[in-house]
Chains A and B, each alone.
Chain A
């Protein structure tokens, strides 16, 4: 890697829909390595923040600054959506697609995708139409498609919502192995257990603001804000 695209910084970034402020103003810097996890109640703005960082949303005011030139930044990150987007093709074609988009020869892209099919344990099913896959298999497919480009940053939006324990662990294994290879993980989850297992630090969001940012241990053991405390205890946050 020539130069890193991290850290990414938000300076007073605000996302509005109509009159309503969805998130912000946010000041935030994410750099280094490891795994940062966003937690917070429904509607807190986690998805919006991930999308803003990835360039799928625009800041209505303030700025998002990456540490490299713009046209390089987004090709070195991947995004896994909460409900996996599956192309109407075979599993292999789905996984190979980002490489093909980058101009890799079809044959090489497919060969690389075949390796991922084995890596995620899809086997023969991967040669069928991806639409027949189960929810868990689709999510693994989306993971492989996100990882095949060896991203420097990987965004994950509740990658294991709706998955059972076994599938959840398989997804987590993929996340950890990507992290160990140096991919910076930024993800949202509602699963506290998962947050404890994966996160190096926690960003607690509520009503579009980041109320607290702390190491995973500190956050769960002694949250500093009243809201975070209530949220962890499972109280309703109003």
Chain B
């Protein structure tokens, strides 16, 4: 209980003083995860739409695989990216290991299947309603995807926010490929782990509260922004 109170106090203190390190770490967290989510959405949403409107032989298998990829253990993803980017790895020459870019790459691998799978589920339901009409008016495949992406944008927003939530709280992969280097790759989650390791629970808790507040704030902002469209029942 004392720890909790102290944590709250230290969180408020950190925020009120706009603690330099805190601001830097928070911004890096946001930078890494927002970049990763934008890239993942750019891949995952069109893929989800494509999967909804396309019949092919191993479609069910592909969907099952996609759902399985949602549960990829981040540590393993981190390890995988680490091996690829390490000096002796195939992409070693790019010298990306222990940079924010490496962290973004790892998060893209974790977040893309989540966005693709959740958005596919909502667009598949929409496709079920639209199917006959869109075939009747001779839409091209691209027009069908566009209709699902546009008319289903609510569900896509949810999918994207879910991906963001997963990314912002993720630690296993970015710890491995980022290395938690001060002023370079340290983000909120890795900083928390470090402070816990050092036994500074109030600071760790303070960072944790900042992390949670940030996640809630982003979700609320986007929710309010999308509401301004005044879209009624969906």
Chain A positions near chain B (C-beta within 8 angstroms): 54, 56, 74-75, 78-79, 81, 85, 87-89, 97-98, 101, 128-129, 131-132, 149
Contacts and interface: CB of A to CB of B under 8 A. Distances in A.
A202 to B, nearest CB: 25
Given A85-B130, A87-B147, A88-B151, A131 B233 contact: yes
B234 A79 contact: no
B143 A101 contact: yes
Interface string B126-169: 10011011011111000100010001100000000000000000
Contacts of B232: 128-129, 131-132
A149 B231 CA distance: 28
Interface residues of B, number: 18
A97 B147 CA distance: 10
A81 B126 CA distance: 17
Nearest to A100: B143
Given A88-B151, A89-B151, A129-B233, A74 B133 contact: no
Contacts, number: 42
Contacts of B152: 88
A101 B130 contact: no
A85 B129 contact: yes
Contacts of A54: 136
A146 to B, nearest CB: 9
Contact of B234 (A74, A78, A88, A101): A88
Contact of B135 (A56, A88, A98, A128): A56
Contact of B136 (A79, A88, A131, A132): A79
Given A74-B138, A87-B151, A88-B151, A81 B143 contact: no
21 contacts: A78-B137, A79-B132, A79-B136, A81-B133, A85-B129, A85-B132, A87-B130, A87-B133, A87-B151, A88-B126, A88-B234, A89-B151, A98-B137, A101-B137, A101-B143, A128-B232, A129-B232, A129-B234, A131-B233, A131-B234, A132-B233
B234 to A, nearest CB: 6
Q: Which of B130, B135, B138 has the most CB of A within 10 A?
A: B138
B141 to A, nearest CB: 12
A89 B130 CA distance: 12
A1 to B, nearest CB: 18
B136 A56 contact: yes
Given A74-B138, A87-B151, A129 B133 contact: no
Contact of A101 (B126, B139, B151): B139
A128 B232 CA distance: 9
Nearest to B126: A88
Interface in B103-143: 126, 129-130, 132-133, 135-139, 143
A88 B126 CA distance: 9
A74 B136 CA distance: 8
Nearest to B136: A79
Given A101-B143, A131-B232, A131-B234, A81 B151 contact: no
A132 B232 CA distance: 9
B151 A85 contact: no
Contacts of A131: 232-234
Nearest to B154: A88
Nearest to A85: B133
B149 to A, nearest CB: 12
Contacts of B143: 101
B74 to A, nearest CB: 35
A206 B130 CA distance: 29
A75 B136 CA distance: 9
Contacts of B138: 74-75, 101
B229 to A, nearest CB: 11
Nearest to A81: B132
Nearest to B231: A129
Q: Which of A78, A81, A101 has the most CB of B within 10 A?
A: A101
